[in-house]
C-alpha cells in the first residue's frame, strides 16, 4: 500500500510538470468519442489487454441491490437491523460486537440465489475472445465466477464469499462456501470449529485492508491496459476509484453506467492530477460515457462488434444450465429431507415392536 501511495505521488508530480510546461499533449486515440468509436477501436485489432472495472450496478438486474441508489439501494433499506448508521453493517469493529445484522443480510443476498447478468457474460465473452487481461470487481456476490471467470481472470478488490476465515489472529482457520452457507441458513452465527471465535467471509469490511493481490496486480495490469471498460460503479470508494488514473494517457476509457462518474475534480484537473474522466471538455480525447443500464450498454457494444447473437445465446444456455442444476439440487435436498423424516418416523415403531 505504501508503494502504491508513492506511485500516486509520482503521478501527481509528473502530471503537474506536464501540465505546467505543456508537455506530453496526448493524441486522439478514438475516431469518435462514442460507443461506435470504441467498437471500431476494438475491431481494429489494437486491443489485446482490456481491463474491466465493475461495481454493484452490473448485478442489479440479477435482483441484487446496489449500495447507494436512493430508495432502492442497500443502504436505504437497512432500517430493520437497527443500525447506528447504514455503513455499520460493514464496519469490522461493529461486526465483531454485533454480527447478527450482517449475517441476516447475508442470508438475503447469499451467492447461489442469483444468476449472472448479460454484463457478466459480456466480460466472459471478452475472455473467450482472448481480449480480457483482467476484471477488477468491487462485488462480493461471486457472479463473475459463476459466469465463468476463473481466479486468474479476476481481482475481487473487496473480497469474496468464496472463502471465509476465523477472525482470531491466533487461529485464522479457513472455511469454504458450503460450510458458511450451512451456518448462515441454519440461523447460526458462524463460529470457528477450532477456537469458537467468529468466522467471517473474506469480504473487505470498512477498517480492513484490501487483498495484497489487488496492489500487486494493478502495478502489472494498468500500465499494459489498452482499453479500460468501467461498468456499474459510482467510483466513490478509494483506492478502487483511483484505478482509472493508472492507465496510460493513450488508453481509451469507456464508462457504461446510469450516470456519469469518475470525473476529474476541476481544481485538480487544472493541475493535471487525479486521472479523472473527461467526457465533455474541449480537451476530451479518450473518455466515453454511455448512459444506460450495464446490460443494455453491453448488448449495444456487442451488437456493434457483431457479437450480439453470440452473447444472447451464451446467456440463454448458461441460465438454462444453472436452472437445471438448481432443480437437481432442490430434488436432492427434498429426497434427503424425506429420508430423514422417514427415518425419524420409523424409529418409534421399531421401539414399539421390541
Secondary structure class of 164 (helix, strand, coil): strand
Residues of the binding site for NAD(+): 56-60, 66-68, 138-141, 233-234, 257-259, 294
Annotated catalytic, 319? no
SS3 68: coil
Q: Dump the DSSP string for 99-122.
A: -HHHHHHHHHH-TTSS---HHHHH
Cross-strand partners of 318? none
Per 3-state DSSP, what percentage of the chain is helix, strand, and coil (rounded to 5)?
Answer: 50, 15, 35
Per the CB < 8 A criterion, the answer to whether 276 and 268 are in contact is yes
Tell me which of 158, 165, 290, 319 is the catalytic residue. Answer: 158
Q: List residues forming the annotated binding site for Zn(2+).
A: 166, 171, 192, 195
**Spatial contact of 140 and 164, defined as CB atoms under 8 Å apart:** no
Is the distance from CB of 125 to CB of 148 less than 8 angstroms? Answer: no
Is there a contact between 145 and 183 (Cβ–Cβ < 8 Å)? no
Binding residues: 56-60, 66-68, 138-141, 166, 171, 192, 195, 233-234, 257-259, 294
Write phi, then psi, for 235 (nearest 5 degrees). Answer: 50, 50
Active site residues: 158
Amino acid at each position: 500500500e505504501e508503494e502504491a501511495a508513492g506511485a500516486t505521488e509520482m503521478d501527481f508530480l509528473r502530471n503537474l510538470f506536464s501540465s505546467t510546461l505543456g508537455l506530453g499533449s496526448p493524441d486522439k486515440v478514438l475516431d469518435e468519442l462514442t460507443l461506435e468509436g470504441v467498437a471500431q477501436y476494438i475491431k481494429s485489432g489494437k486491443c489485446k489487454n482490456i481491463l474491466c472495472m465493475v461495481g454493484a450496478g452490473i448485478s442489479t438486474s440479477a435482483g441484487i441491490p446496489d449500495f447507494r441508489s436512493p430508495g432502492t439501494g442497500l443502504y436505504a433499506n437497512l432500517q430493520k437491523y437497527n443500525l447506528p448508521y447504514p455503513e455499520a453493517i460493514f464496519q469490522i469493529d461493529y461486526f465483531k460486537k454485533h454480527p447478527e445484522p450482517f449475517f441476516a443480510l447475508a442470508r438475503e443476498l447469499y451467492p447461489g440465489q442469483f444468476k449472472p447478468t448479460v454484463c457478466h457474460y459480456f466480460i466472459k465473452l471478452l475472455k473467450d475472445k482472448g481480449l480480457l487481461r483482467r476484471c477488477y470487481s468491487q462485488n462480493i456476490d461471486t457472479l463473475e465466477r459463476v459466469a465463468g471467470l476463473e481466479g486468474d481472470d479476476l481481482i475481487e478488490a473487496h473480497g469474496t464469499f468464496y472463502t471465509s476465515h476465523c477472525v482470531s489472529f491466533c487461529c485464522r482457520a479457513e472455511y469454504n462456501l458450503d460450510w458458511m452457507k450451512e451456518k448462515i441458513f441454519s440461523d447460526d452465527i458462524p463460529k470457528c470449529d477450532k477456537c469458537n471465535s467468529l468466522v467471517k467471509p473474506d469480504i473487505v469490511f470498512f477498517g480492513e485492508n484490501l487483498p495484497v493481490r489487488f496492489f500487486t496486480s494493478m502495478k502489472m495490469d494498468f500500465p499494459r491496459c489498452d482499453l479500460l471498460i468501467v461498468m456499474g460503479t459510482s467510483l466513490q470508494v478509494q483506492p478502487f476509484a483511483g484505478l482509472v488514473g493508472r492507465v496510460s494517457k493513450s488508453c481509451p476509457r469507456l464508462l457504461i453506467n446510469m450516470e456519469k462518474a469518475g470525473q476529474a475534480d476541476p481544481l485538480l484537473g487544472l493541475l493535471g492530477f487525479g486521472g479523472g474522466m473527461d467526457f465533455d471538455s474541449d480537451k476530451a480525447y479518450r473518455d466515453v460515457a454511455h448512459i444506460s443500464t450495464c446490460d443494455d450498454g453491453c448488448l449495444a457494444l456487442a451488437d456493434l462488434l457483431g457479437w450480439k447473437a453470440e452473447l444472447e445465446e451464451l446467456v440463454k444456455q448458461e441460465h438454462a444450465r444453472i436452472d437445471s442444476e438448481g432443480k437437481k439440487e432442490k430434488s436432492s435436498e427434498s429426497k434427503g429431507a424425506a429420508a430423514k423424516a422417514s427415518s425419524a418416523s420409523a424409529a418409534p415403531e421399531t421401539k414399539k415392536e421390541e
